[in-house]
Chain A
Amino acid sequence: MSPDPQKTPAEPASTTIATKHFGQIVVREDQIITFSPGLLGFSELHRYILIEHGQESPFLWLQCVDQPDLAFVVIDPLFVLPNYQIGPLNGVQKELDLKNPHDLKILVILTIPPGHPQDMTANLMGPLLINLANRRGKQLVLESSPYSHKHPVIKR
């Protein structure tokens, strides 16, 4: 008896999505991060995946599952500012159903001006918080913080 190649119930469900930067890629359901509400300005789009940029690169792509040409470059904020702290989480812990603080992944979005990548800035004011345990995410806005939404990444 050979297994039917059409039926592989042990595999997690996967879907093929179109992307601008990576072409067609296969995404497992358990890789999808759901931002609710969506990122500011993209409130209708909730589902994203993280893709490593390269082995030696500190950058990650945050690729939208439902819109091929929407992708952000994100980075660990500690790479930009070693003492970066988002402060008390208040209600966010509940919103993300965060049970273990170690499950919290913090990333910040980079703005890379076309043709002038050395002028890139990090949005330290609007970090992305992701609960790795359930892959729920949220863009937090640190209203009363010293951090800029345009923090220069490369000092000159």
Chain B
Amino acid sequence: MLILTRKIGEGIILGDDIRIAVLEIRGKQIRIGIEAPPNVVVLREEIYQRIQEENLQAAGVRDVDLKEIANLFKTKKANEPGSTENSG
């Protein structure tokens, strides 16, 4: 890992179009500003990991399980008429 020391107001450039700046230090917390193009994903690490892990798990879906659950919804639908009508 590259380690750099920065003062408040100073920045770091990643590639041609990403800038990270230290904005404020308050006790144990540091406020960081990030400028990046829209196609770059910028997220808190723990949130990124949570969604990534969920996507990976979701990708392992089996057709047989979906069929079973779809059948369950069919019967559910029959019992609760109109309950699933939503406009998207």
Residues of A participating in the B interface, judged by any CB pair closer than 8 Å: 21, 36-37, 39-43, 53-54, 56-59, 70-73, 76, 78-79, 82, 91, 94-95, 105-106, 109-118, 120, 123, 125-126, 139, 141, 143, 149-150, 154
A117 B54 Cβ-Cβ under 8 A: no
CB <8 Å contact, A73 and B43: no
A118 to B56, CA, bound (A): 19
Nearest A residue to B44 by beta-carbon distance? A143
CA distance A59 to B84 in the complex (A): 12
Interface residues of B (CB under 8 A from A): 38-41, 43-44, 47-48, 50-63, 65-66, 68-70, 72-74, 77, 84, 86-88
**List of B residues within 8 angstroms of A71 by Cβ:** 59, 61
Query: Secondary structure of the B side of the interface?
Result: helix
- Residues of A contacting B59 in the complex (Cβ-Cβ under 8 angstroms): 41-42, 70-72
Give the CA-CA distance A86 to B48 in the complex, in Å.
Answer: 18
Q: How far, in angstroms, from A70 to B86 measured CA to CA in the complex?
A: 28
From B40, B57, B72, B77, residue with most partner A Cβ within 10 Å: B57
B62 touches A114 (CB 8 A): yes
Q: Which residue of A lies closest to B73 (CB)?
A: A58
Q: Contact between A40 and B52 (Cβ–Cβ < 8 Å)?
A: yes
